[in-house]
């Protein structure tokens, strides 16, 4: 039976693992949750790369398919892992700018991500590939991941961060941190009526399925 290892620092990884258990057949889904060092969003790039490797050490160099269900770990660790273990499959999670470009009708999208993800080279590369006509708004989501893990993120926290962009009328929200999948989409709809919310769950699951078929 193929082993899929889902790595994260908390809630997002658990959501991904549960989704895989429901949608994938004949696989063993293992959760590797580095709650001890959470959140990664306030650490340096070198720390993130080191902590990710340490958390996954029992699975690196094996035939396990590893999913980095953490945007920050993807941004700062996945390239090094792929270089060190070229025979192993790694799937990362990145803010879905390209899919959002296909969804938006007015060219205005909101990206919800940690400050460190937004500062990463990988995110800059995604922006470079985006249409010049696309307007991207990035609310301050600092501290959200920690609050979500603790069950402390309130609807008012979300409203306070997103309300300054109401006048822009964005029509797509990109979930750029897997922890934020725990936020009910209805909250986003109350702030931006009619908004579409792009979740990475389906696209990552499709990538995993494709790799499993190849193997």
Say yes or no: 7 and 53 in one domain.
yes
Say whether 177 is catalytic: yes
The residue annotated as part of the active site, out of 29, 48, 49, 70, is 70
In this structure, the answer to whether residues 28 and 64 fall within a common structural domain is yes
Q: 130 and 88, same structural domain? A: no
Same domain, 187 and 102: yes
Q: Are 104 and 73 within one domain?
A: no
Shared domain for 206 and 194, answered yes or no, is: no
Under the banding of pLDDT at 50, 70 and 90, the label for residue 30 is very high
Specify the number of domains making up the chain.
2
- Residue 59 CB partners (closer than 8 Å, separation 6+): 3, 5, 30, 32, 66
Whether 118 and 168 map to the same domain: the answer is yes
> From CA 144, how far away is CA 25, in angstroms rounded?
33
Q: Could you tell me if 110 and 174 are in contact, meaning their C-beta atoms sit under 8 angstroms apart? A: yes
141 is catalytic: no
Which tens digit of pLDDT belongs to each residue from 37-67? 988 877 899 999 999 999 999 999 999 999 9
pTM: 0.92
Q: CATH no. for residue 167?
A: 3.40.50.1860
Q: Average pLDDT in the 6-12 region?
A: 96
Please write the tens of the pLDDT for every residue from 59-107: 999 999 999 999 999 999 999 999 999 999 999 999 999 999 999 999 9
pLDDT in tens, 108-121: 999 999 998 999 99
Reduced to 3 states (helix: H, G, I; strand: E, B; else coil), residue 85 is coil
Domain extent for 20: 2-93+201-214
Choice among 15, 51, 172, 177 that is catalytic: 177
My answer on whether 192 and 106 are in the same domain is yes
Same domain, 106 and 162: yes
Say yes or no: 110 and 190 in one domain.
yes
Domain match, 153 and 112 both: yes
pLDDT tens string 137-187: 999 999 999 999 999 999 999 999 999 999 999 999 999 999 999 999 999
């Amino acid at each position: 039976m193929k082993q899929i290892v889902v790595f994260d620092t908390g809630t997002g990884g658990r959501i991904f693992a549960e989704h895989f258990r429901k949608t994938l057949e004949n696989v063993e889904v293992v959760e590797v949750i580095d709650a001890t060092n959470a959140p990664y969003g306030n650490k340096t790039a070198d720390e993130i790369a080191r902590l990710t490797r340490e958390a996954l050490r029992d699975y690196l160099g094996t035939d396990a398919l590893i999913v980095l269900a953490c945007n920050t770990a993807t941004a700062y660790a996945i390239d090094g892992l792929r270089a060190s273990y070229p025979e192993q499959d790694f799937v990362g999670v990145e803010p879905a700018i390209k899919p959002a470009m296909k969804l938006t009708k007015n060219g205005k999208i909101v990206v919800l991500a940690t400050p460190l993800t937004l500062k990463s080279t990988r995110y800059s590369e995604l922006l470079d590939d985006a249409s010049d006509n696309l307007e991207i708004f990035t609310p301050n989501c600092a501290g959200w991941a920690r609050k979500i893990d603790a069950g402390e993120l309130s609807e008012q926290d979300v409203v306070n961060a997103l309300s300054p962009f109401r006048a822009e009328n964005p029509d797509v929200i990109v979930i750029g941190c897997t922890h934020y999948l725990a936020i009910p989409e209805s909250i986003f709809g109350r702030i931006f009526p009619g908004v579409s919310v792009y979740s990475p769950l389906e696209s990552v699951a499709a990538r995993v399925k494709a790799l499993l078929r190849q193997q």
